[in-house]
């Protein structure tokens, strides 16, 4: 590794992009949001602040040098040439050379290393990583209430918005502030009236900024929110492209997305109108002030109060100041856009976790697998409905089937067991341990789940099967796939990058696989995980009868020694369970074996008779979730 590469690596390693504090939740307030991340990288930003001030001083010094050179040349005899110039002013010329070729290079290089190698590489990604980590710990309901694309956009843009804001604040605003102060001091040394005019210019600029900046901040936040919402609509359309094509509703969806574009454009138009006003106001102010300073400088020269070099120096500094103030107003526009974007991200990323582990939570220890619902009520935040005073005990190793019409509460019971939601009353225990008092990670690690709506990760087949057991060997993954009757179709898989078999990627949500294939991969995943508690929610609903029959034997083997909760609308698939629990409006209305329930001739017998007659009974649910 070359010295330059080692130096770059040293600066790149200054901020760990994957640093994760014990509590990664940032505040929702924008300023506190910035400070939350800035305090984790105080030293690099402090060094950047010092270097930014040094660069500004060097920049102002260049114009001072121009003025001095004019005066030196004016006072020197042209016939003496370089020898006479060096003899008379050698040390001063040498100092200028050192500053321009040496100090300026070192300061600029160091500033670039900090900004590009340290902040852009480490800090930006640290913000994104911590935002991702916190949002990924949110409850299921958090993600159900927003577009996935909108959430992803806000998390992704958080690093850029926070980093760009802080870098611009130091590299531009701080630089210009130092340069402006230096300009006032230097021209005031020539004549106090020049310094006064420059100071008046800065005061008027500050007044304009005070008027425009809050308005740009408001419009920037609205633009960022509209942009996130638009991204959410686009992602929603693309992720459901099959539905769009099946129903031939492309025009209707276009209108829906176009409405998002129109809202975004309306927000952008308000923002750009404000930017136009800023540019016009700045052009008017700078024109008046440059003319005033130029006329005053020439007048002072005519009065022999300043030299020609002083005029050149003053006009050079002022013209550069004009450029920098214009840049600052532009940067203030960018700053406010980044501030608005960061606020938009903070509003989402800064939300506290709705489901958290108890402060003294311990890992769940499953010795037998007994489950108990004790007086459990849950209404999805409503006053009533869904689950009411549920008392249900499932013995260790017992296989239980949950039966009921749609909306009876079957899948809600499973969601509560997995603690996707907290119960509103009562408690749920596993082997006597209240699941509210154990860590969520250990709880879900102890439960294997196969659902009817199987979604896979856009990763390899192997990664999807081994998701519950990342340390599984290739042989164990292949064995699980074979047990799930998935090995044959996996062997034939290939993706557009030429990856085949277990290395082939399955597409977003597993879209490249059929419903039955996705379900078999999900079953293989649960077979490999081999958790002590098994939940099968319409686990074979997407399989044809032949494959279902082949897999059923493997599932029966998997169920041995495990506590099982199975949900199925096809009652024949769960009729052999040890006990069937019939639910209606969140309450247990019947329970017993298949034979016992048929003999009672109640709700279960009615459902069985209708299915045996060739059709399924309809039912309207009164819960938030469909079961």
Q: Are residues 217 and 159 in the same domain?
A: no
pLDDT at 458 over 60: yes
Contact 563, 532 (CB under 8 A): yes
Q: Are residues 205 and 298 in the same domain?
A: yes
Count up the domains in the chain and report the number: 4
Q: Are residues 35 and 150 in the same domain?
A: yes
pLDDT of residue 338: 82
Coil, strand or helix at 335: helix
Structure tokens at 387: 């689950």
In a domain, 212, yes or no: yes
**Predicted confidence band of residue 35 (pLDDT cuts 50, 70, 90):** very high
Q: Are residues 420 and 563 in the same domain?
A: yes
pLDDT of residue 401: 92
pLDDT at 448 over 60: yes
**Predicted confidence band of residue 615 (pLDDT cuts 50, 70, 90):** very low
**Predicted confidence band of residue 86 (pLDDT cuts 50, 70, 90):** confident
What does the alpha-carbon distance between residue 376 and residue 13 come to, in Å, rounded to a whole number? 51
In a domain, 341, yes or no: no
- Among 149, 167, 191, the domain boundary falls at 191
In a domain, 220, yes or no: yes
Long-range CB pairs of 213-218 (<8 Å, 24+ gap) are: 213/332, 213/336, 215/274, 216/271, 216/274, 216/275, 216/278, 216/332, 216/333, 216/336, 216/337, 217/336, 217/339, 217/340, 218/340
**Predicted confidence band of residue 624 (pLDDT cuts 50, 70, 90):** very low
Contact 310, 67 (CB under 8 A): yes
For the packed helices 148-168 and 192-239, what is the interaxial angle rounded to 10 degrees? 160
Question: Facing residues of 450 across strands?
Answer: 536
In a domain, 5, yes or no: no
Expressed as residue numbers, the domain containing 142 is 10-191
Alpha-carbon distances, residue 547 vs 87, 484, 485, 556 (angstroms)? 98, 9, 7, 14
pLDDT of residue 541: 60
Of 114-118, 549-553, 562-566, the one with minimum mean pLDDT is 549-553
Question: pLDDT higher for 459 or 171?
Answer: 459
pLDDT at 627 over 50: no
Write the pLDDT tens digit of every residue in 289-346. Answer: 888 888 888 888 888 888 887 787 788 778 777 777 777 766 766 777 788 888 888 8
pLDDT of residue 112: 87
- Percent helix, strand and coil across the chain, each to the nearest 5: 65, 10, 25
Coil, strand or helix at 530: coil
Q: Are residues 261 and 225 in the same domain?
A: yes
- 579-584 and 563-567 strand pairing: unpaired
Q: Are residues 489 and 475 in the same domain?
A: yes
- 533-537 and 447-450 strand pairing: parallel
Question: pLDDT higher for 619 or 453?
Answer: 453
pLDDT at 523 over 90: no
pLDDT at 517 over 80: yes
Could you identify the residue written with the tokens 């179709």? 489
pLDDT at 249 over 80: no
Q: Are residues 75 and 132 in the same domain?
A: yes
Contact 153, 227 (CB under 8 A): yes
Write the pLDDT tens digit of every residue in 118-137. Answer: 998 899 999 999 999 998 88
What does the alpha-carbon distance between residue 227 and residue 242 come to, in Å, rounded to a whole number? 25
**pLDDT, average across residues 183-190:** 79
Please, what is the average pLDDT of the chain?
83
In the DSSP assignment, the letter for residue 351 is P
Burial label, 444 (beta-carbon count in 10 A; 0-12, 13-18, 19+)? middle
Write the pLDDT tens digit of every residue in 369-426. Answer: 999 999 999 988 776 778 888 999 999 999 999 998 877 888 889 999 999 899 999 9
Alpha helices in 350-450 (DSSP H): 410-417, 440-445
The alpha carbon of residue 550 and the mean position of all alpha carbons in its chain are separated, in whole angstroms, by 42
pLDDT at 148 over 70: yes
Could you identify the residue written with the tokens 């609903």? 541
Q: Are residues 178 and 219 in the same domain?
A: no
Coil, strand or helix at 378: strand
In a domain, 204, yes or no: yes
**Predicted confidence band of residue 542 (pLDDT cuts 50, 70, 90):** low
pLDDT at 66 over 90: no
In a domain, 330, yes or no: no
In a domain, 335, yes or no: no
Could you identify the residue written with the tokens 């920049």? 59
Helix (H) or strand (E) holding 339: helix 308-349
Q: Are residues 67 and 214 in the same domain?
A: no
Q: Are residues 542 and 480 in the same domain?
A: no
Coil, strand or helix at 434: strand
**Predicted confidence band of residue 254 (pLDDT cuts 50, 70, 90):** confident
Q: Are residues 509 and 592 in the same domain?
A: no
How many residues in total does the chain contain? 627
Q: Which residues contact 530 (CB under 8 A, 6 or more apart)?
A: 448, 469, 558
**pLDDT, average across residues 160-168:** 87
pLDDT at 68 over 50: yes
pLDDT at 543 over 70: no
**Predicted confidence band of residue 623 (pLDDT cuts 50, 70, 90):** very low
**pLDDT, average across residues 174-197:** 80
- Three-state secondary structure of 167-236: HHHHHHHHHHHHHHHHHHHHHHHHCHHHHHHHHHHHHHHHHHHHHHHHHHHHHHHHHHHHHHHHHHHHHH
pLDDT of residue 502: 92
- 425-430 and 587-592 strand pairing: unpaired
The sheet with strand 563-567 has its strands ordered as: 447-450, 533-537, 563-567, 399-403, 579-584, 587-592
**Predicted confidence band of residue 205 (pLDDT cuts 50, 70, 90):** confident
Task: Report the CATH number at residue 405.
Answer: 3.40.50.300
- Among 491, 525, 559, the domain boundary falls at 525
pLDDT of residue 544: 63
**pLDDT, average across residues 347-370:** 89
Of 554-568, 582-596, 603-617, the one with minimum mean pLDDT is 603-617
Coil, strand or helix at 238: helix
Burial 91-122 (b: 16+ CB within 10 A, else e): eebeebeebeeeebeebeebbebbbebbbbbb
Coil, strand or helix at 277: helix
In a domain, 32, yes or no: yes
The alpha carbon of residue 83 and the mean position of all alpha carbons in its chain are separated, in whole angstroms, by 65
Q: Are residues 36 and 147 in the same domain?
A: yes
**Predicted confidence band of residue 234 (pLDDT cuts 50, 70, 90):** confident
CA triple 410-413-419, angle to 5 deg: 145
pLDDT of residue 614: 45
- Among 472, 491, 525, the domain boundary falls at 525
DSSP 454-470: --B-SSBHHHHHGGG-T
**Predicted confidence band of residue 621 (pLDDT cuts 50, 70, 90):** very low
CB atoms closer than 10 angstroms to residue 543: 20
């Amino acid at each position: 590794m070359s010295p330059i590469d080692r130096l770059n690596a040293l600066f790149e390693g200054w901020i760990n992009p994957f640093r994760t504090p014990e509590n990664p939740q940032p505040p929702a307030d924008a300023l506190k949001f910035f400070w939350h991340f800035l305090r984790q990288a105080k030293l690099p930003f402090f060094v950047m602040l010092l270097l930014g001030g040094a660069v500004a001083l060097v920049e102002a010094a260049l114009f001072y040098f121009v003025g001095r050179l004019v005066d030196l040349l004016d006072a020197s005899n042209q016939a003496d040439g370089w020898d006479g110039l060096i003899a008379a002013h050698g040390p001063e010329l040498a100092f200028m050379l050192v500053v321009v070729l040496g100090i300026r290079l070192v300061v600029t290089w160091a500033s670039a290393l900090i900004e590009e190698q340290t902040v852009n590489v480490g800090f930006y990604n640290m913000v994104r990583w911590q935002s991702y980590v916190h949002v990924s710990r949110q409850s299921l309901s958090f993600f159900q209430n927003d577009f996935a694309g909108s959430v992803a956009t806000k998390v992704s843009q958080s690093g850029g918005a926070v980093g760009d804001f802080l870098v611009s604040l130091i590299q531009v605003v701080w630089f210009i502030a130092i340069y402006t102060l230096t300009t006032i001091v230097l021209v005031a040394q020539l004549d106090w009236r020049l310094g006064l005019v420059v100071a008046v210019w800065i005061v008027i600029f500050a007044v304009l900024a005070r008027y425009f900046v809050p308005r740009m901040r408001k419009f920037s936040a609205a633009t960022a929110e509209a942009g996130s919402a638009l991204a959410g609509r686009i992602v929603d359309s693309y992720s459901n492209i099959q539905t769009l094509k099946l129903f031939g509703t492309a025009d209707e969806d276009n209108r829906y997305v176009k409405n998002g574009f129109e809202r975004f454009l309306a927000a952008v138009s308000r923002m750009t109108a404000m930017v136009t006003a800023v540019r016009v106001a700045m052009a008017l102010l700078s024109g008046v002030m440059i003319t005033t300073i130029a006329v005053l400088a020439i007048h002072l020269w005519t009065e022999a109060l300043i030299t020609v070099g002083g005029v050149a120096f003053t006009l050079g500094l002022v013209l550069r100041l004009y450029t920098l103030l214009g840049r600052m107003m532009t940067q203030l526009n960018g700053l406010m856009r980044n501030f608005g974007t960061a606020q938009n991200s903070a509003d989402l990323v800064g939300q506290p976790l709705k489901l958290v582990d108890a402060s003294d939570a311990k890992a769940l220890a499953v010795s037998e697998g007994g489950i108990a619902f004790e007086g459990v009520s849950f209404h999805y935040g409503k006053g009533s409905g869904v689950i009411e005073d549920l008392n249900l005990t499932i013995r260790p190793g017992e296989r239980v089937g949950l039966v009921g019409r749609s909306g009876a509460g079957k899948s809600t019971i499973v969601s509560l067991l997995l603690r996707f939601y907290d119960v509103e009353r009562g408690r749920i225990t596993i082997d006597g341990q209240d699941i509210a008092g154990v860590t969520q990670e250990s709880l879900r690690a102890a439960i294997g789940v196969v659902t009817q709506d199987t979604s896979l990760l856009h990763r390899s087949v192997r990664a999807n099967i081994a998701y519950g057991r990342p340390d599984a060997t290739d042989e164990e993954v292949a064995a699980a796939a074979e047990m799930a009757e998935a090995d044959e179709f996996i062997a034939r898989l290939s993706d557009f990058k030429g990856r085949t078999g277990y290395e082939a990627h399955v597409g977003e949500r597993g879209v490249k696989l059929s419903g039955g294939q996705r379900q078999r991969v999900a079953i293989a995943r649960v077979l490999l995980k081999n958790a002590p508690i098994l939940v099968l929610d319409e686990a074979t609903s997407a399989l044809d009868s032949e494959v279902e029959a082949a897999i059923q034997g493997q599932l029966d083997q998997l169920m041995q020694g495990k506590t099982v909760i199975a949900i199925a609308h096809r009652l024949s698939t769960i009729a052999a369970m040890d006990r069937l629990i019939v639910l209606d409006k969140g309450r247990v209305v019947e329970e017993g074996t298949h034979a016992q329930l048929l003999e009672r001739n109640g709700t279960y017998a009615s459902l069985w008779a209708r299915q045996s007659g060739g059709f399924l009974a309809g039912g309207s649910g009164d819960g938030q979730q469909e079961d």
